Amino acid sequence: MAVLFLSARVLLAVVFVVAGLAKLADRARARQALRDFGVPAALATPLGLLLPLAELAVVLALLPTRSAWWGALGALVLLLLFIAGIGANLARGRTPDCHCFGQLHSAPVGWPTLTRNAVLAAVAAFVVWQGPTRAGPSAVGWLGTLTAAQWAGLVVGLVVLGLLAAQGWILLQLVQQNGRLLVRLEAVEKHLGIDPTQGLPVGTPAPSFRLASLEGERVTLDALRALGKPVLLVFVDPGCGPCTALLPEIGRWQRDHAATLTLALISSGTPEANRTKVAEHAVTHVLLQRDAEVIRAYQVPATPNAVLVRPDGTIGSPVARGAEAIRELVAHALLPSAPPLPAGANGRANGATGAPAMPAAPRIGEPAPPLTLPDLTGTSVDLAVLRGHPTLVLFWNPACGFCQQMLDDLKEWERRPPQGAPRLLVVSTGTVEANQAQGLRSQVVLDEGFAVARAFGATGTPMAVLVDGDGKIASEVVTGAQAVLALARSKQTRTQPATASR
């Protein structure tokens, strides 16, 4: 039993010495924790010093036999105060940061915190219950029996432990300092409008490359762009699980959309490792980088990620991170991205793809194409019914990542439209449920085949055109969030319908 009592006291002493020293090392947060628990600010400052000193006094009292009972009683009183404070805050639904062990461990209080203190209180109560004369042997009395050699070993051991503790403390400070530097760096990047996770800015030239295919041929970005189609670069790795899971879809996209999109994989590793992964799904255009040089050039943070390169060789999208974002980028890329090319030597109106030519878009001042489409309730909506007020016709796709990026700004525009703003009509693809989930207040009609959008001259999403009160085209078709919102807020839309022609 004597050993049991001694073990209980040593356990309490270790807990309280760590808690007391940690609080003294970070008195500012200790005072803040007291205020968070409801201690008045005037008392938090002195208690921020007195509390850790009381914990250290308990430690000193627990070790000798003569004062052990009083040390256990002090520990029990402090633990009961902790339990009362934690319980009162939990009862009010509050979970302040306990700062129980200073910078070593600090987390919001909860039932585990309450349980831990209750267990320690039970240990202290066990020692107190035995009375002042039965608290067990002294925790320091054995020091008088040590020989000179044992004393030397004890001193060396304490020095080693002290050095290890100091090293741990220095490492902790370095980690925290690095964390503060990262927070400041993120704040600076946010202030400067820099987002390191989004890759190269849209519209900048795409970095060129020359990589080996699985067949040993050298393939360049210019060669991928030779057919005049958008190029989707998907960055993968043979050891990446999510990349492997996406390969069946990549193979299907390459087969089903070869006429409108060139999809190439930028991978690493050996040809054999990649061939094993892609052969089952008939994936082609697999190009191997030697030392992640392409993924660095495109500022891609991980795999699987993807970037769209426009036919003119410029970046056409932010980095699509993860499988779902890549699917959205593919859906966006499959929409026609450029007006039809003039007939060439092959006599086909749309260049090498052989796709049928789009109807000529109406010019400013000409009547808008007829528009009769179902809304989200199934009711047909005719654009002619909307005459008498300028209408901004917005071409939309819920699966389009670019549309989602401007969704909040569009909702804000709906809540606070400028004076004289046009009515908004959203011509969208996708399901009724997907469009309802967008939460737009304006009228939404469904153009599943994108035929009406093409008749207006729209070649993708988000795009928009202004129709004046007489049902005539009043603007060029604009592309992208900034251009769409600028058209909605332009002086022309806030004054009177425009009927200019050219």
From the CB of residue 144, how many other CB atoms can be counted at a distance below 10 Å? 7
Please give the model's pTM, rounded to 2 decimal places: 0.36
User: How far is the C-alpha of 89 from the C-alpha of 94, rounded, in Å?
Assistant: 5
User: How far is the C-alpha of 378 from the C-alpha of 164, rounded, in Å?
Assistant: 72
| pLDDT of residue 340 exceeding 80 | no
Pick from 196, 217, 324, 195: nearest CA to 264: 217
| pLDDT of residue 349 exceeding 70 | no
Q: Are 266 and 233 in contact (CB under 8 A)?
A: yes
CA–CA distance from 442 to each of 42, 121, 423 (Å)? 55, 62, 8
Q: Mean pLDDT lowest for which of 209-213, 309-313, 433-437, 456-460?
A: 456-460
User: How far is the C-alpha of 286 from the C-alpha of 280, rounded, in Å?
Assistant: 14
Strongest mean pLDDT among 35-49, 161-175, 275-289: 275-289
Render pLDDT for 71-80 as a digit per residue (tens, 0 to 9). 889 999 999 9
Spell out the SS3 assignment of 252-297.
HHHHHCCCCCEEEEEECCCHHHHHHHHHHHCCCCEEECCCCHHHHH
Query: Residue 99: phi, psi to the nearest 5?
Result: 55, 35
Render pLDDT for 420-450 as a digit per residue (tens, 0 to 9). 888 899 999 888 888 998 999 999 999 876 7
The residue behind tokens 């990549």 is 250
Give the confidence band of 346 by pLDDT, cuts at 50, 70, 90: very low
pLDDT, residue 444, reads: 93
Query: Residue 178: phi, psi to the nearest 5?
Result: -60, -40
The residue behind tokens 């699509």 is 320
Amino acid making up residue 161: L
User: How far is the C-alpha of 282 from the C-alpha of 275, rounded, in Å?
Assistant: 10
Tokens of 286: 């697999």
Beta carbons within 8 Å of 397's beta carbon, 6+ residues apart = 331, 332, 335, 403, 428, 429, 430, 461, 462
From the CB of residue 95, how many other CB atoms can be counted at a distance below 10 Å? 15
Query: Residue 5: phi, psi to the nearest 5?
Result: -65, -40
- The per-residue pLDDT of the chain, averaged, comes to 79
Render pLDDT for 367-407 as a digit per residue (tens, 0 to 9). 988 878 899 988 888 877 777 888 999 999 887 777 888 89
Nearest 10 degrees: Cα torsion 190, 194, 199, 200:
160
Give the confidence band of 491 by pLDDT, cuts at 50, 70, 90: low
The residue behind tokens 């370095």 is 174
Strands 286-288 and 443-446: unpaired
User: How far is the C-alpha of 229 from the C-alpha of 333, rounded, in Å?
Assistant: 10
Amino acid making up residue 24: L
CA–CA distance from 478 to each of 114, 308, 394, 458 (Å)? 60, 20, 10, 8
Beta carbons within 8 Å of 476's beta carbon, 6+ residues apart = 364, 465
Beta carbons within 8 Å of 128's beta carbon, 6+ residues apart = 69, 72, 73, 76
